[in-house]
A = this chain, B = another copy of it.
Amino acid sequence: MNDRIRIGIVGYGNIGRGTELAISQNEDMELVGIFTRREPDLLDTKSNVIHISNMLDFKDKIDVMILCGGSAKDLGEQVPMTSKYFNTVDSFDNHGKIPEYFDKINNIALKSNKLSLISAGWDPGLFSLARLLGKSILPNGRNYTFWGKGISQGHSDAIRKIKGVKDGVQYTIPCEEILKKVKNCEDVNIPSCKMHKRICYIVCEDGEDLVRIENEIKSMPNYFADYDTIVNFISEKELKKNHNKMPHGGFVIQTGTTKSNARHKIEFNLALDSNPEFTSSVLVAYARAVHKMALEGKKGAITIFDIPLGYLSSKTGEQLRRELL
């Protein structure tokens, strides 16, 4: 089938592997290749693997490149390079730097006549859509985002940097009682740190002072100090057995009143067994949209706010109106 959407993957970490899996679930797509900085033979996959330095050989053979590296370093280098030659999708999630990143990619893609969707995924991404929808429909209201239960990579990294900590993970968990109040349309006005708990599972080096480690975690500014934080010390075996998954999820809830004082709630929530595999599934659906919009001549940088949701589907507008509306 030559009319399938031809996808390339750049980077083969958790998101890259998830994207490879997600493409195989969409019959209108094919994976042309995985581009890596590593030695191609070293990647454990049956897909076609190409060294990233040979990317330009695929200039006319790929419709959309999905950039699967991390926001901290990879995407900032690889997306500018890739959007010179390809339509792109990425999951840049450094919220504070999005405006600057958008402008940079927009300039490049406008020059190359390509289309680049930045910051797709679920947050930023689907959660952003839910926030926008809630605030636009119920302007007299309040919007809440709860994250979890899920592993926060940033917080897990922070724990692991503490002296004497061998390994560890951190779960972000919404406070049940606050979540319940919000769902009941009660007016809750507290900072995000009071809406979440943090639970840590820590493996220590032998002979370390557990009290010191617990105190260092609980007093860490920004990360833990303002939160209800629980620290559990466990064995390495237990960590590997019970905490080797990457679940996540959360809730975006808009509550508000219409002018007669009728109360309304709009809720969007996710429960994910695998954060990277779900994120990848979002990227793949949005790659379809990017392909369609690029065919229509759209170029530059866009975000999920700019995409009609119908473009996510492989069905025609007529089918969607008949089957889903």
- Whether B258 and A22, one on each chain, are in contact in the complex, defined by CB atoms closer than 8 angstroms, is yes
Among A22, A282, A325, the one with the most B-chain Cβ atoms within 10 Å of its Cβ is A325
Tell me the smallest distance from the CB of A47 to a CB of chain B, in Å.
Answer: 13
* Given A132-B313, A258-B278, A267 and B264 contact (CB-CB distance below 8 Å): no
Judge if A112 is at the interface, Cβ distance under 8 Å: no
Judge if A152 is at the interface, Cβ distance under 8 Å: no
Q: How many copies does the complex hold?
A: 2
Among A135, A288, A317, the one with the most B-chain Cβ atoms within 10 Å of its Cβ is A135
Judge if A124 is at the interface, Cβ distance under 8 Å: yes
Tell me the smallest distance from the CB of A256 to a CB of chain B, in Å.
Answer: 9
- Whether A325 and B137, one on each chain, are in contact in the complex, defined by CB atoms closer than 8 angstroms, is no
- Whether B268 and A267, one on each chain, are in contact in the complex, defined by CB atoms closer than 8 angstroms, is yes
Judge if A260 is at the interface, Cβ distance under 8 Å: yes
Question: A278 contacts which of B18, B264, B321 (Cβ < 8 Å)?
Answer: B264
- Whether B309 and A25, one on each chain, are in contact in the complex, defined by CB atoms closer than 8 angstroms, is no
- Whether A132 and B320, one on each chain, are in contact in the complex, defined by CB atoms closer than 8 angstroms, is yes
Give the complex CA separation of A24 and B282 in angstroms.
36
Give the complex CA separation of A277 and B140 in angstroms.
13
Judge if A271 is at the interface, Cβ distance under 8 Å: yes
- Whether A98 and B268, one on each chain, are in contact in the complex, defined by CB atoms closer than 8 angstroms, is no
- Whether A21 and B260, one on each chain, are in contact in the complex, defined by CB atoms closer than 8 angstroms, is yes
Instruction: List the B side residues contacting A133 at CB < 8 Å.
Output: 126, 309, 312
Instruction: List the B side residues contacting A24 at CB < 8 Å.
Output: 259
Q: Give 16 new A-B contacts, CB below 8 A, not counting A126-B133, A132-B310, A307-B308.
A: A18-B258, A22-B258, A22-B259, A25-B259, A129-B309, A131-B324, A132-B313, A185-B271, A249-B265, A258-B281, A259-B277, A267-B270, A268-B268, A303-B321, A304-B325, A305-B308
